[in-house]
Amino acid sequence: MGPRTAGGSDRLFQNKSPQVALRLRLFCGNFRSNPKPTMIIVLKPGISKTDERSVLAEIRKLGYTPHVMRGVARTVVGAIGDELTHANLDTLTAQFPKLVESVMPIQKRYKLVSREAHPANSTIRVREHTLGGKKFHVMAGPCSVESESQLLTTAEAVKAAGATVLRGGAFKPRTSPYEFQGLGEKGLKLLAKARKQTGLAIITELLSESHVEMVAEYTDIIQIGARNAQNFQLLIAAAKTGKPVLLKRGLSMKIEEWLLAGEYVLANENPNLMFCERGIRTFETYTRNTLDLSTIPIIKRESHSPIVIDPSQGAGRADLVATMCKGAVAMGADALLIEVHPNPAEAWSDGAQQLTLDGFAKLMTELKPFIAAAGRE
């Protein structure tokens, strides 16, 4: 099958030299009426790997790059390519009637993270846990890994209270170069020791492309922080590890920009993306940031990826964390990311926003009716 024939506004480009046609397309591209969008191909359940490969081969033959997203019941393929010159994929349902369930256009700029691409909620497998499903998850631990005793004490306490993932910063992005920058690989090794001792999964932040292999060796979830939310080469490197990626919202990031940043993860063959709202910078000074809980229904509407809320960074005040957690659960968040420390007054970073061990245990008890009311476990 060849390229689509020109029609409508495409006639403008006919009978022109390649150079003139290119200039016209660059000038007029934003004014074309209804350009053909990127397509999403939904495969039928239970097809073999051989059948799947035959569909992918045909998609490539038609000039598109397929991106496979595997769900529990369905496999979805995003076909990305030059929409102006490539062949139409609508005929795949006729060509593969036993393999292809539907072909749908995606109008959004963010193709693969869009709920149009994947109507069902995506779930992320982290060790024995499934994030984004029926069970509500809490990730908790210190802002920074400081010592073995500090980390192991915290890990044992948050597990006993009901957390399933241990958070802890080994590499810390600090505003001042004179502030504590983290223990580096030593901190990663302590996190791995805490995982072995408690069974908790690990989440930690990746700051540099040069640390990708090291961080991926130790962690179960790679966190991309607010300052790196649009560091696209770092996003690509994190995605290529195959590890789940938690993408925090940038300090001044619009939601569309956040979704497009997430697109870099899925476009690099990693479907394991979670968005994390951690507050944005506004004119308000009462709190460290303004925690935008409206992102929960917005992300749920626009994307299939899970949404996590970080109330510690969001408020910057331990006395507000519990209330923000309850609001996040009630609004439909899939998980929380909470900072907890044995003695916040002596923390090496961000002590004002970290809960005590007893405070975290109390919060977990208070969250139970909210979790139940939200229909989660």
Q: How many domains does one find in the chain? A: 2
In a domain, 112, yes or no: no
Do 275 and 227 lie in a common domain?
Answer: yes
Closest CA to 162 of 139, 184, 179, 145: 139
In a domain, 365, yes or no: yes
Strands 129-131 and 124-126: antiparallel
For residue 232, pLDDT beyond 90:
yes
Do 41 and 161 lie in a common domain?
Answer: no
Do 280 and 133 lie in a common domain?
Answer: yes
In a domain, 118, yes or no: no
- Provide the token pair at 18: 């390649």
Angle at 336 between CA 335 and CA 341, to 5 degrees: 145
For residue 31, pLDDT beyond 70:
no
Q: What is the structure's pLDDT at 83?
A: 58
User: Rounded CA gap, 3 and 7, in Å?
Assistant: 12
Do 101 and 184 lie in a common domain?
Answer: no
Do 209 and 283 lie in a common domain?
Answer: yes
Q: Would you give the DSSP letter of residue 194?
A: H
DSSP string, 200-235: -EEEEE---GGGHHHHHHH-SEEEE-GGGTT-HHHH
In a domain, 8, yes or no: no
pLDDT digits (tens, 9 = 90+) for 129-147: 999 999 999 999 999 999 9
User: Rounded CA gap, 152 and 36, in Å?
Assistant: 55
Q: Which residue has 């046609």 as its token pair?
A: 21
Do 94 and 128 lie in a common domain?
Answer: no
Do 49 and 157 lie in a common domain?
Answer: no
In a domain, 85, yes or no: yes
For residue 34, pLDDT beyond 60:
no
In a domain, 327, yes or no: yes
Do 240 and 272 lie in a common domain?
Answer: yes
In a domain, 19, yes or no: no
Do 251 and 317 lie in a common domain?
Answer: yes
Q: Which residue has 């439909």 as its token pair?
A: 332
pLDDT digits (tens, 9 = 90+) for 36-61: 457 889 899 888 999 999 999 999 99
Q: Would you give the DSSP letter of residue 241?
A: T
Do 68 and 211 lie in a common domain?
Answer: no
For residue 18, pLDDT beyond 60:
no
- b (16+ CB within 10 A) / e for 66-96: bbebebeeebbbbbbbeeeebbebeebeeeb
Residue 289 main-chain phi, psi, to 5 deg: -135, 175
Do 84 and 128 lie in a common domain?
Answer: no
Q: The domain spanning residue 85 has which CATH number?
A: 3.30.70.1140
Residue partners of 218: CB distance under 8 A and separation at least 6: 188, 189, 191, 192, 202, 204
- Provide the token pair at 135: 């069970």
- Last residue within a domain, chosen from 72, 106, 140: 106
pLDDT band for position 106 (cuts 50, 70, 90)? confident
- Provide the token pair at 341: 């420390």
In a domain, 16, yes or no: no
What's the domain range around 57? 36-106
User: How confident is the model over 58-72, as a mean pLDDT?
Assistant: 84
Q: The domain spanning residue 173 has which CATH number?
A: 3.20.20.70
Q: What is the structure's pLDDT at 125?
A: 95
pLDDT digits (tens, 9 = 90+) for 261-303: 999 999 998 999 999 999 999 999 999 999 999 999 999 999 9
Do 58 and 206 lie in a common domain?
Answer: no
Q: What is the structure's pLDDT at 179?
A: 85
- b (16+ CB within 10 A) / e for 340-375: bbbebeebbbbbebbbbbebbbebbeebeebbeebe
More confident residue, 351 or 107: 351
